[in-house]
Structure 1
Amino acid sequence: MRLRLPEESPKEPPTGFKIAHPVLHTDGGRAGFLGVSLGAAAPYGVLDQARCVYGRRHRVPHRRCDCGFHCVHERAVAEGLLVLAEHRKTVLLEVSVLGRYIRFEQGFRYARQRVRTMTVGPCPCGAAASVLADAGWGRDGQRALEAACGGCAGGRARWTLATFAERAGQGLKVIAAPGTQLAGDLPGTPELVAEAALLQARLDWFQGQLGRLGEAQGGGGPEARP
């Protein structure tokens, strides 16, 4: 006799968390995501159906296969993956687990999902991200994007967070995480005044040196300041 695990019938779809690379189709009209493990082979949309990555003809998820979408139960666990070097340019997704699913200790493997929220991390410079810029790589007609501020994006192709949400559709909410520079690290008014006074003193000294050099060469130096 084969034992069967109990089936769940939740009133609301379970919530999970995962990380992914935001991508935009080369035609510029469709936005989605690219996974970091098995899902790295096939981009998916905000509302999508999982398919067996091995091409097998069975229902997804199957107990004897690794197919299906994957997520973890706890947000903190997914956030912990973001600090790994290979995942620094990914985003955090909050998803609704839809359809058939298998529950594990750390998360779910399931058939369908809806991405509800995408949280974009800070720009590598520490400022809060304002755009998603071309990351310099892609897959199967999908251009990978990465978080950046307006200054660090440079001349790369870029899209605002609102534009990405609009092209992803299905009511996706995109949030920019706060910058990593602490408020205490930012200079206040007294510090800025002191820096300005120091710069002015250095400028006065530099102009004085130029004046003496001009007089030594017989050129009369620059005009005297009032």
Structure 2
Amino acid sequence: MRLRLPEEHPTEPPTGYKIAHPVLSQDGTRTAFTGVSLGGALPYGVLADASCAYGLRHRAPHRRCDCGFHCVHDRAAAEALLCTAEHRAAVLLDVTVLGRYIRFERGFRYARQRVRTATVGPCACGTVAAALADAGWGRPGWRALAPSCAGCLRGRTSVSLAGFARLAGEGLRVVAGEGAAVAVAGLGHAEKLGVPELAAEAALLQARLDWFQAQLARLGEHGPGGGRKG
């Protein structure tokens, strides 16, 4: 006799939490996320369908495979994963579970998802993040990003929290965590941004300006022919 899993028919889509690394396309026109374990080589957008990471032709999630998107029920359980060294620069995602899913004790494995909110942790220096900057690694065609404050950008390729949300589309919200004044970033036009969003954007622009001024000052120490003045 073939055993069948019990079926659920919820009136509202289930929700869950997971962690992922934010990524920026090589040409700087798209943003996405990449997982921290199975399927991490396949960046996904805000609204995405899962496929089998092993290249098998069955629909995800398959009962006899571990393919599909994964999330946990409890926010604290997802936040605990951010304590490990390899996941310190990841962001916390609040997701809606769509399509077929398999329920487990701690979470879901499922076919389709919508990322509703991405919570960005602090910069490596401990300051509240104002942007997501080049993390020094990536996937083919994608640069991995890590939280950065305005003072630590140092000319790296970066995108503000508002810019990341705008490029991702689909109503994504990006917020700065760690108890800071929440910088909601998901509105596409500057006139709709509030004080926290504009303050974060201003800090990012100021940091870039400071870096350019430092570079100009360094170049100014040399004469027109490249020799040092004096």
- Identify whether the pair has TM-score above 0.5, normalized to the shorter chain: yes
| Structure 1 portions without partners, runs of 5+ | 181-226
What is the TM-score with the length of structure 2 in the denominator?
A: 0.76
Which secondary structure state, in structure 1, belongs to the residue aligned with residue 165 of structure 2?
Answer: helix
What is the TM-score with the length of structure 1 in the denominator?
A: 0.78
Which secondary structure state, in structure 2, belongs to the residue aligned with residue 102 of structure 1?
Answer: strand
Name the counterpart of 1:148: 148
Which secondary structure state, in structure 2, belongs to the residue aligned with residue 83 of structure 1?
Answer: coil
Name the counterpart of 2:93: 93
Q: Distance in 2 between matches of 1:87 and 1:115?
A: 19
Q: Distance in 2 between matches of 1:58 and 1:158?
A: 38
Give 1:5 shift: 1.9
Name the counterpart of 1:69: 69
Q: Distance in 2 between matches of 1:30 and 1:80?
A: 29
CA contact (8 A) 1:127 1:179 kept: no
Q: How many equivalent residue pairs?
A: 180
Which secondary structure state, in structure 1, belongs to the residue aligned with residue 155 of structure 2?
Answer: coil
CA contact (8 A) 1:102 1:109 kept: yes
Which secondary structure state, in structure 2, belongs to the residue aligned with residue 162 of structure 1?
Answer: helix
Q: Distance in 2 between matches of 1:110 and 1:69?
A: 5
Give 1:3 shift: 2.5
Deviation string, structure 1 residues 65-120 (Cα, Å, up to 9, x no partner): 11100010100000000011110010000000000000001110000000000000
The share of aligned pairs that are identical, in percent, is 70
- After superposition, residues 58-207 of structure 1 pair within 5 angstroms as 58-178=58-178
Q: Distance in 2 between matches of 1:79 and 1:164?
A: 21
4+ residue runs over 4 A deviation: none
Q: Distance in 2 between matches of 1:148 and 1:104?
A: 35
Name the counterpart of 2:23: 23
Give 1:26 shift: 0.7
Report the residue type matching 2:73 in the other structure: H
Q: Distance in 1 between matches of 2:160 and 2:59?
A: 38
CA contact (8 A) 1:129 1:179 kept: no
Give 1:179 shift: 6.3
Q: Distance in 1 between matches of 2:84 and 2:178?
A: 19
Name the counterpart of 2:218: none
